[in-house]
Amino acid sequence: MLLAIGIATGQGYPSINLIIYGLIRLILVKPVISYYSYIMVEQFLGLIVAFYAGWIFFKGSKKRSLIFAVILRTSTYVMYNDFGRADIGEAWALIFVPLVLIGYYLITARRDYTRGVLILSLGLSLELYSHILSAVITILFLMGVYGFHLLSDRTNIIAELKSLIISAILFVLESLIILVPLIDLLREHIATPGSSLWSIYNYTPVKLVKLSLSNSIGIDSENIGIILLILTFIGIFF
């Protein structure tokens, strides 16, 4: 029996966004300069997506949208992915998270079903093309949020579920180039990490808060930074 051991590269770790790096490398040649130019492209695209999401959420307010985009894209965790550990896949996946959330928001809050369906499916597929785990976490998060939403508001449940199902179908169709090889890969026997490996990722809520207060982008300091930490608590309690 074949026993696959290693990191999830290739089929299990999409690298389509590296095409952009490849094009930059062809022009600039030098790898370090090419990488930082690649980060600049990522940040620029991230600012555009975040601004667009903010523009929808804040109902056309350019000032609020710009503030939102700058705070998000200069947050500690985004910087940490770019410079602390150079996690290209997750860094690019984070670009499209606002797109996913605003698509969900349009469906459940604005009742703009057509636009919400298109934006939600597009955001999820682009996220999957960048980082599979991030897409899975986002989907699980949306399922949890929608569950809480149903506890308080069921007036448009039929239209919402119809839109979410259509969005899911579009997401699958848009992501076939990733999903088909991934499903084929999952049919193989893949070794999973032992408990000793997971023990090094011991991030309790208290530890995450402490790391966020440090506002560091160094190795092994995963955090969202002081500003997003404060905004998170404001969002929870107010």
The pLDDT of residue 234 is: 79
Phi, psi torsion values for 130, nearest 5 degrees: -100, -45
- Dist CA 179 CA 192 (whole Å): 20
The pLDDT of residue 198 is: 56
The pLDDT of residue 144 is: 94
The pTM is what?
0.85
Smallest CA-to-CA distance from 49 within 91, 110, 81, 107 is with 91
The helix/strand/coil state of 189 is: coil
| Averaged pLDDT, groups of 10, the chain, 238 residues long | 49 77 92 92 95 95 94 88 84 95 95 95 94 93 93 88 96 92 75 59 74 75 78 72
The pLDDT of residue 199 is: 62
| Dihedral sign of CA atoms 90, 69, 43, 104 in order | positive
